Amino acid sequence: VQLVESGGGLVQPGGSLRLSCAYSGTILSGTTMGWYRQAPGKQRDMVTVFTSGGATNSADSVKGRFTISRDNAKNTLYLQMNSLKPEDTAVYYCTAFHVRQGRSWGQGTQVTVSS
């Protein structure tokens, strides 16, 4: 699975951004897809993901602010981020996982929240 993120940038606190992840390759039934992020000096953490059953699982810090969605016709995963905070500053990664294929990562896109 190949993943390419886009849509990052600089935004003021309280602002919004929408990230996109174009995916290609063989997506097996049961593949989980979603978003992680990594701030400087910190580990990479889950932001929000679609589970294999289609439900979503989100970090408490983004619930009510971030929304994951997908357009299967366009092979694209999205992350709508609202009410952004400085602590949301990080490199955001798109990821896909299937037990038979392992985990794939995109190259990441930088999101900076600052006035």
Render each residue's pLDDT in the chain as its tens digit; 115 residues: 999 999 999 999 999 999 999 999 998 988 999 999 999 999 999 999 998 788 999 999 999 999 999 999 999 999 999 999 999 999 999 999 999 999 999 999 999 999 9
Which DSSP symbol is given to 106? -
Query: Which of 47, 48, 50, 43 has the alpha carbon at shortest distance from 97?
Result: 50
β-pair type (17-24, 76-81) = antiparallel
**Locus of tokens 């896909």:** 96
Which helix (H) or strand (E) segment holds residue 10: the answer is strand 9-11
From the centroid of its chain, how far is CA 14?
A: 19
Bridge partner residues of 25 (DSSP): none
